[in-house]
Structure 1
Amino acid sequence: MSGGPIGYYVHHHGEGHRQRARAIAARAPGRFTLIGTGVEHLSGPFDTVELPDDRPFDRDDFDGADGEIVRPDALHYAPIHHEGVRERTRLVASWIAERRPALMVVDVSVEMAMLARLCATPTVYVRLAGARWDAAHLDAFRGAQALLAPFDPRCETADAPDWVRAKTFYASGLGSYSAASDRTDNVVLVAFGRGGSRTTVQDLDDAARATPDRQWRVMGPIGCPSPAPPNLDVAGWIDHADEEIGAAGVVVGGAGDGVLGAVAACGKAYVCIPEDRPFGEQRAKAEALDAAGAAIVLQRWPQPGEWPEVLRKASAIGTRAIAGFHDRHGVAKAAATILDWADR
């Protein structure tokens, strides 16, 4: 069905999913409908379908588990008697029945991939980094027309099945990133994503006090110490995080898709402290950065006295290696490939 609509399911945990969806959809005005929780406020040449939240309403520390004793191996998250899940399923199935899409891009949810397939709709599954070889993921991979990996092939795990690799289109750089501007070498930018972090307010306070010659700026969902040292600025959530990253001398952060993508696009000195994520996603990318000599990779937040040397080493690394993890044509390639899959 040439020229048919394309659905794009956007997962609501982490910012990288939204960045990819917006960047890809903007390449084909009018073709995409972004579907998910928290998409109704997104602007661009695409439609949106807002879905109710599927997370428990009585928990602030949601870990992705549905709490069910019995669950099919082909599913990850299938809570019983959850009205949000019921309504999400109805809305997606209704949209498919009404619009008859040529393709559904699923970023990411094995349940949504299965739902689309049950609704007679081919899927492209966005496959994140890490060892995702459990039964549910493998079934979603098998059922998809193709797989899209939003990372450099060097971030692939060594145990990835050959058939999964063969089915995968690798495309780094799937986001909207600004060029570096007004770089200030003494600025250390700490970038927290929406996925959460082990780093504490006290860690930030200690690091800033240990390096009084550096100006620390922190963005993301974390509080500010009181009283804060004069060289520490906690800015909270910033919509144009890539501009902040482009202006910094050194970036400190995890290995989430959003932060890593912007750091690579801007060619920044990078202190990478991977966060614990399901399937070792961030650790797989951090290992690739370490092997390429593209960043200072640490397994924990440094002690206060270690920070001067850590920052010195990070600044001494050239930017060519980290820049190699960003394909400036990645969005265009991914969009063209998705459109080709949809129009076959």
Structure 2
Amino acid sequence: MIGYYVHHQGAGHQHRAAALARALDEPVVGLSSAPRPADWPGEWLHLDRDDEGGTALDPTAAGRLHWVPLGDAGLRRRTARVAQWLDAARPRLLVADVSVEIALLARLHGIPVVTVVVPGCRGDAAHRLGFDVSAELVGLWPPEAAGMLRDVPAEVAGRVRALGGLSRFPVRRPRPRRPGPPRVSYLAGTGGRVDDAVDAARAQTAGWEWSVLSRQHGSWVADPRAVVEDADVVVTHAGQNALAEVAAARRPAVVVPQPRPHDEQVTTADVLAAGPWPALVEPVFPAQGWERRLAEAAALDGAAWAPWCDGAAADRFAALLRGTR
């Protein structure tokens, strides 16, 4: 049995956990403050939140950890529940995606830990501690995507197994486009905003048909595959899950990173801009020039995404876990 800690922020952690669970031939128990996903194939241990206790006191333990607020009842209950589960279930390893504190808790119980490393500036003391206690470090980007980690020593970067982008959807050959005007899909993400800038972009591109997916806008769908595959261009943030799904659909993209802790999306966008990927990268959502921008993006060859996401990342991840003791 394997335990998989799933961070509750965003949907990407849940999607890749479910993809891995389906690829493995042993039970995977999810541990998370997020609700159990509809497609989760096994047991789900729901944990208390640790960020709803009001003003947080010394939440980083003087910079050694990321989130351990003093006196927080939710933190106490969730930590106790994970400890009880580790003792009762005795998993052979735990995947931390992502939490330094959960990784440490498992290792203190004598359980090997595999940490999913997220792009960005990860050289702080807490990240280093989590990396140091992990048996394996996994990066869900291709080996060709150099520079996804910043401010970490070379020996840490050298330990990361770059397995490729992990999409919950299979890689498909581009289908013949249906008749009609050129189409653009905008993926705002579960935390993304749809504001006046998007309305301005649509106004500048009267010849394009836009589909906007945003939880805030009320137009988000759990399965955006059809909307992505139907697009001539996808405008997206630089989250790992969104990029993997755009790459799996082999669609050219305009990528606009959103603010995230540790410069996660900014780092990913910089790597995309420096590489051979079929994406135009903008540091912020542009106010002007969308007609030209979409035409330029549509001319890119979406097949160039193949090294980013070849459809086998979940299988490689599963093979790595099978060999981890």
Q: So what's the TM-score if we normalise by structure 2?
A: 0.91
Q: Does 1:323 align with 2:306?
A: yes
Instruction: Report what 2:156 is aligned to.
Output: 164
| Distance in 2 of aligned mates of 1:315 and 1:324 | 19
Give RMSD over aligned pairs: 2.1
CA deviations over 1:102-130 (Å, ceiling 9, x no partner)? 10100001111111112221101111111
CA-CA distance at 1:39 after TM superposition? 4.1
Contact kept? 2:2, 2:26, Cα under 8 Å: no
Partner of 2:235: 252
Which residue of 66, 87, 97 corresponds with 1:107? 97
2:229·2:251 contact (CA, 8 Å) conserved in 1? yes
Give the aligned partner of residue 151 of structure 1: 141
Q: CA deviation at 1:68?
A: 2.7
1:21 alignment partner, one of 11, 17, 21: 17
Q: 2:322 — aligned with what?
A: 339
Q: Give, in whole Å, the separation in 1 of the partners of 2:49 and 2:176.
A: 40
Task: Confirm or deny that 1:31 pairs with 2:14.
Answer: no
Query: For residues 215 and 104 of structure 1, do their structure 2 counterparts lie closer, same or farther at Cα, with a shift above 3 Å needed?
Result: same
Say whether the 8 Å CA contact 1:33–1:47 is kept in structure 2: yes
Q: 1:46 to 1:175 in 2, by over 3 A?
A: farther
SS in 2 for 1:191: strand
Q: CA deviation at 1:66?
A: 4.4
- 1:117 counterpart letter in structure 2: R
Shift of 1:70: 6.8
SS class of match (2:196): helix
SS of match in other structure, 1:190 = strand
The 2-side partners of 1:88 and 1:269 are apart by 42
For residue 173 of structure 1, the aligned residue among 137, 152, 165 is: 165
* Equivalent in 153, 178, 189 of residue 185 of structure 2: 189
- Judging changes above 3 Å, is the alpha-carbon distance between structure 1 residues 249 and 239 closer, same or farther for their aligned structure 2 residues? same
1:182, distance to aligned residue in structure 2 (A): 6.1
Q: Is the 8 A contact 1:265 1:328 kept in 2?
A: yes
Amino acid at match of 2:295: R
Residues 158 and 138 of structure 1, relative CA distance in 2, 3 Å threshold: closer
State the alpha-carbon separation in 2 of the partners of residues 39 and 85 from structure 1.
17
Residue pairs, 1:132-151, within 5 angstroms:
132-151=122-141
**Aligned residue number for residue 227 of structure 1:** none
Name the residue aligned to 1:238.
Answer: 221
Please give the residue correspondences for 1:114-125 in structure 2 after superposition, counting only pairs within 5 Å: 114-125=104-115
Question: CA offsets per residue over residues 212-260 of structure 1, 9 Å max, x none?
Answer: 111111112233xxxxxxxxxxx62211123321121110111101110
Change (3 A) 1:57 1:322: farther
The residue that corresponds to 1:61 in the other structure is none
- Per the alignment, residue 127 of structure 1 pairs with 117
User: What is the identity, as a one-letter code, of the residue corresponding to 2:51?
Assistant: R
Instruction: Provide the residue aligned with 1:218 in structure 2.
Output: 212
Q: After superposing the two structures, state which structure 1 stretch, 48-57 or 12-21, moved more.
A: 48-57
Q: Is 1:310 aligned with 2:306?
A: no
Assess if the C-alpha contact under 8 Å between 1:175 and 1:261 holds in 2: yes
Identify unmatched segments of 5+ residues in structure 1: 59-64, 224-234
Partner of residue 300 from structure 1, selected from 284, 289, 304: 284
What letter is aligned with 1:241?
Answer: P
Aligned positions, number: 318
Secondary structure in 1 matching 2:297 = helix
Q: Alpha-carbon deviation of 1:293?
A: 3.8
**2:202 counterpart residue number:** 208
Query: CA offsets per residue over residues 252-286 of structure 1, 9 Å max, x none?
Result: 11110111011111111100011121222112211
Taking a change above 3 Å as real, the CA distance of residues 39 and 332 of structure 1, as seen in their structure-2 partners, is farther
Q: For 2:243 and 2:231, locate their aligned partners in 1 and report how far apart those are by CA, in whole Å.
A: 14
Distance 1:81 1:38 in 2: 22
- Output the amino acid matched with 1:176: R
Matched residue type, 1:218: V
Give 1:176 deviation, angstroms. Answer: 1.1
Once residues 41 and 129 of structure 1 are traced to their aligned partners in structure 2, the CA distance between those partners, rounded to angstroms, is: 24
Distance in 1 separating the partners of 2:205 and 2:182: 10
